[in-house]
Amino acid sequence: MACQPSIARPTAYLTKERKQKMKSKIPLITGVCVAAAIALCAAPNIPAQGKKSPAPEAAASASSMATETSGKPARAIPYRGKVASVDAAAKTFTIAGKTGSRVFKITDQTQIMKQGAPATMADIVADEEMRGSYWKKSDGSLEAKKVNLGPNTDAAETRKRSKKEKSADSEAAPTATP
């Protein structure tokens, strides 16, 4: 017995009852498809965590959750700007920026550098350019991890540019697989 391919019957051979069942399912199927499309389109509207800085409350809860869940501190957050004021007694300094002023606390673990050489809290003065990184503590305070005083040197700018170029080249270059 030869195997014959199954041939779909044209709708003319379908009974009226079967045609009616198919027609009644079309709005249901269309509704499910529309609901799925809406759900998929709504997902990209959720803001990406790494793209822009979240609201201060969200950042505080996220950093404290990262510390609590993994047991190690969250990644340090970079900063830069000019020193607005220094409080040597409290071991703090303030940086005024576009979004307002931020007060950073200096601890024993803070690395302070001035033009590549180690420095102290006494070297931090008002109206001086600086950059570095900090941790946001669970109580909302900002603890400086690194403080680099003075403008960015030409050597540092060159290193920064070369790192960007290397990362751009590695992303653009296709990887060969054997």
For residue 89, the SS3 value is coil
Q: Residue 1: its pLDDT value, please?
A: 52
What's residue 103's pLDDT? Answer: 92
Find the angle CA(163)-CA(168)-CA(170) to the nearest 5 degrees. Answer: 95
Are 104 and 143 in contact by the 8 Å Cβ rule? The answer is yes
Tokens of 133: 């990184």
pLDDT score, position 17: 75
The residue whose two tokens read 């550098």 is 113
pLDDT at 67: 45
**Given this model, what pLDDT does residue 35 score?**
83
Given phi > 0 = left and psi -120 to 50 = alpha, else beta, which region is 132? left
Q: Using CA atoms, how far apart are residues 17 and 7, in angstroms rounded to an integer?
A: 21
Residue 64: per-residue pLDDT: 46
| CA distance readout (Å), 100 to 4, 14, 89, 109, 132 | 78, 73, 23, 26, 18
Give pLDDT < 50 ranges for the chain.
Answer: 53-70
> Are the beta carbons of 136 and 128 closer than 8 angstroms?
no
Domain ranges of the chain: 57-159
What's the first-to-final CA gap in the chain, in angstroms? 49
Place of tokens 């803001």: 47
The pair of structure tokens assigned to 143 is: 């603890």
Q: b vs e for 50-66, b when ≥16 Cβ sit within 10 Å of the residue's Cβ?
A: eeeeeeeeebbeebbee
| Residue 65: per-residue pLDDT | 44
Main-chain dihedrals φ then ψ at residue 138, nearest 5 degrees: -65, -25
Q: Which two tokens stand for residue 122?
A: 């006494």
Q: Which fold has domain 57-159?
A: OB fold (Dihydrolipoamide Acetyltransferase, E2P) (2.40.50)
